[in-house]
Amino acid sequence: MIEIDDAPEMEVIGVSKTVVIKRHAKAVFVFGGDVIVEGRVDGDVGVIGGNVIQKEGGSIGGDVIVIGGGYRPEAVKPLRDPGKQTLVFGIFEDELRELGSDPTSILSPSFSPAFFAQRILSVLFWFAVAFAFSYIAPGAVSRAMVRTDLHTGRVAGFGLAGLISAVIVVIASLTFLPDYLGAVVWLMIFALLMLAYLFGRIVLQLYIGKWMQRRVWASRSYPDSVAILIGTVFWTLLLSIPYVWTFTLLALFAFGVGLVLTGRENRPHSHA
């Protein structure tokens, strides 16, 4: 635990620690721990994998941003400067807190029964999502598979450039724009990247499944659902291998962004 007494010019950053603001601090950011505000924080309070706990007499002058946790003021009307924002995404709290306490766990997960159960649920989830999307928008999936087959390097290159550009835009917006505008830009780009990842993974699941069918069972014809299942198991296994999963995740994001950026290249053109 870190206790801050009177440091009005200090921007407190903590990793895997609970930070308690006793009297005064400029701003606080904690990864893998809680922030307890008993005094005054002039600026923003941000937490990843933890909670922001504002005591009854505590005051926060800036925005409160929480990912993987919650904002828990003890007062009915907490002391906040007017016009400031509260953004809370209460997802993966335990995972993010564990990552903060042991960053090496991201590369070497423990192979427990819960680990295998999560992978089975992941296979079922991604199979259902890919099957439903392929049924709803077969044309978009087919065109994306054609681009993947004919222009693999181009799609990956565009996607990697798009990812780098997105990171630069987020950093620039959080640095130079007002806090609330920077947070809005970050959320918009995050949402777009998640949608690109969803689309890219669906396409690559079907693409890999069909490729394996052609190589292993060339003499037989199977429905797309079998290809989706094979591809889903393939990518889930890759994402479960220590160290390898980081490159696999990067590849899925890159291909997803690349497929979105090149989405108009092979569409049929209308003629007058």
**Angstrom distance (rounded) from CA 129 to CA 232:** 10
- At residue 269, the pLDDT reads 46
Instruction: Convert 153-186 to b/e letters by CB count within 10 Å (16 or more is b).
Output: eebbebbbebbeebeeebeebeeeeeeeebbebb
The CA distances from residue 197 to 187, 216, 249, 250, in Å, are 15, 28, 9, 10
Burial 85-122 (b: 16+ CB within 10 A, else e): eebbeeeebeebbbbbeeeeeeeeeeeeeeeeeebeeb
pTM: 0.62
- Whether 271 shows a pLDDT value over 50: the answer reads no
Query: Which of 145, 194, 138 shows the shortest CA–CA distance to 166?
Result: 194
Output the six-digit token pair for 25.
Answer: 């601090």
How many CA atoms lie less than 13 Å away from 218 in the CB half-sphere?
Answer: 1
Residue 32: predicted pLDDT? 82
In the predicted structure, residue 96 carries a pLDDT above the cut 90: no
Task: Report CA Rg, the chain.
Answer: 23
- The mean pLDDT value for 27-56 works out to 90
Per-residue confidence at 20, pLDDT binned at 50, 70, 90? very high
The model's pLDDT over 68-84, given as tens digits with 9 standing for 90+, comes to 888 999 988 899 988 88
Token digits for 224? 């797309």
pLDDT by residue (tens digit) across 144-170?
888 888 888 888 899 999 999 998 988
